[in-house]
Amino acid sequence: MTKAMEATGSNPFDNGIAQLAKAAKVIDLKPAYFDLFTQPMELMEVSIPVHMDNGKLKIFTGYRAHFNTFMGPAKGGIRYHWNVSRDEVKALAFWMSWKCTVINIPYGGGKGGIIVNPKELSKGELERLSRAYIDKLVDFIGPDRDIPAPDVYTDGQIMAWMLDEFEKLHRGSYPAFITGKPLELGGSAGRGTSTAQGGYYCFETALRELGLANPTLAVQGFGNAGMFIAKICHDHGFKVVAVSDSKGGIHDSNGLNIPEVIAFKEKKGSVVGFGKAKKISNEELLELPVDVLFPCALENQITKANAAKVKAKLIVELANGPTTPEADEILHKKGTVVVPDILANSGGVYVSYLEWVQNRMGFYWTQDYVFDLLKKQINNSFKDIWAVKKEHKIDMRTAAYVYALQKMRKAAELRGY
């Protein structure tokens, strides 16, 4: 083992390395391959000058990383967040490379971000920032090299601005350059809810494998993924007893009316204060006596400090990296099944792939057809990973990495590494 293979800690990139190292031991991966798979192929840091509404010039810092592009161009979102960092972008690009491999699409990993609080920007400032980011990265991205998508605090409108800027710079039409676009600009039906939809298919399959009937659910994070997974589960008759957002959470053991919670959130800006539900913290939500937990917020939410207090029998990770390696060990010993992020939230990137395919064909599918393809792909990957889990008697995250590592190693070998 190399020193890199022994890395651990709360740093998100170190966490990713530690997770992969467990899988590498299972298949006795050569250290040289491990080093090849854990180094970014390219990592760009850019300064982005933007004229603000008050006339002053402000400099933002942005990043874009490419990881393990043995199987195809890089693919991954762009996030606008005040905690964006080089390590976070590296970690997310790293995870994306394994996520694409797990869900069997011809991509490597990509990720980008800008250090900014988008809530503090006007619409005009946000547009100028988005266009300037593309200006800086124009030679680093493209439909055959790196295909961006939305992530935390970015959306279809921001993708539309970025597409327009890219096409102006290249003087042509390139809808396959970016995914998560509005339908009017070549977006795919179902893309907005695809991450949650894929997570629901994982949840549904895991319930059958574990024999869990009439489970109670808690959802940490009530953004795009969290809101939609709560609604999908509620619409299918499951009892969601707690949800939370950045301002706090709510709990009602009798079950929450999720459509009403969504309407309240859209009006008030938070779920806190909804009806007669008890106010709780995000930390308290993770420790509720529920059967299933959906972490849909940010990284490092379940750690060695609170993992022993988590009572859920099943955790379905719709966030990227919500569970640290130390917490994984504790949960596995307790018998808690964790459907890892690289499988559970891969619905978004899979439908992004379908959007890219549709853009290239100039032919578009219905939402029902898109979700039918997604369900088959998710279920096939889940089945294969569950078989690896049983064969090696390992946790599901390690099984997912074993499954992906074998594919990645073969691709690298075929390329001559």
- Could you please report the per-residue DSSP string of 68-110? -TTSSSEEEEEEEETT--HHHHHHHHHHHHHHHHHTT-S-EEE
pLDDT in tens, 206-231: 999 999 999 999 999 998 899 999 99
382, part of any domain: no
Question: CA-CA-CA-CA torsion for 278, 279, 282, 288, nearest 10 degrees?
Answer: -20
Cβ–Cβ < 8 Å for 76, 93: yes
Final residue in a domain of this structure, among 297, 326, 344: 344
pLDDT in tens, 108-117: 999 999 999 9
Final residue in a domain of this structure, among 344, 378, 410: 344
Percent over 70 (pLDDT), the chain: 98
116, part of any domain: yes
Give residue 94's domain range: 40-174
31, part of any domain: no
400, part of any domain: no
Token digits of residue 62: 């942005």
**Terminal CA-CA length for the chain:** 19
Cα gap 156→47, rounded to integer Å = 24
The per-residue pLDDT for 11 is 72
The per-residue pLDDT for 92 is 87
Cβ–Cβ < 8 Å for 397, 329: no
pLDDT in tens, 346-378: 999 999 999 999 999 999 999 999 999 999 999
pLDDT in tens, 33-76: 999 999 999 999 999 999 999 999 999 999 999 999 999 999 99
Phi and psi of 96, rounded to 5°? -60, -35
150, part of any domain: yes
Q: Work out the average pLDDT over 376-404.
A: 96
One domain, residues 199 and 322: yes
Cβ–Cβ < 8 Å for 178, 147: yes
The per-residue pLDDT for 135 is 98
- Per-residue confidence at 2, pLDDT binned at 50, 70, 90? very low
The per-residue pLDDT for 8 is 37
23, part of any domain: no
Q: Which residues are catalytic?
A: 111
One domain, residues 100 and 205: no
Q: Work out the average pLDDT over 158-162.
A: 98
The per-residue pLDDT for 10 is 59
163, part of any domain: yes
One domain, residues 163 and 208: no
Cα gap 349→71, rounded to integer Å = 15
Q: Residue 187's Cα: distance from chain center in Å? A: 19
One domain, residues 222 and 161: no
pLDDT in tens, 249-275: 999 999 999 999 999 999 999 999 999
Residue 187 carries which DSSP code? P
pLDDT in tens, 4-44: 333 334 577 788 888 899 999 999 999 999 999 999 999 99
Q: Say if strands 42-51 and 239-245 run parallel, antiparallel, or are unpaired.
A: unpaired
Final residue in a domain of this structure, among 143, 174, 205: 174
How distant, in Å, are the alpha carbons of 22, 168, 177, 260, 292 from that of 134? Answer: 37, 11, 11, 38, 40
In which region does residue 335 sit, left (phi positive, over 0), alpha (psi from -120 to 50) or beta (all else)?
left
Cα gap 322→280, rounded to integer Å = 19
Percent over 90 (pLDDT), the chain: 90
| Domains contained in the chain, number | 2
Cα gap 177→194, rounded to integer Å = 19
Cβ–Cβ < 8 Å for 125, 52: yes
Q: What is the mean pLDDT of the chain?
A: 94
Residue spans of beta strands (DSSP E) within 239-299? 239-245, 248-251, 278-280, 292-295
Q: Work out the average pLDDT over 136-146.
A: 97
Residue 399: count other Cβ atoms within 10 Å of its Cβ.
Answer: 24
User: pLDDT higher for 12 or 119?
Assistant: 119
pLDDT at 146 over 50: yes
The CATH number given to whatever domain includes residue 137 is 3.40.50.10860
The per-residue pLDDT for 358 is 98
One domain, residues 134 and 75: yes
The CATH number given to whatever domain includes residue 269 is 3.40.50.720
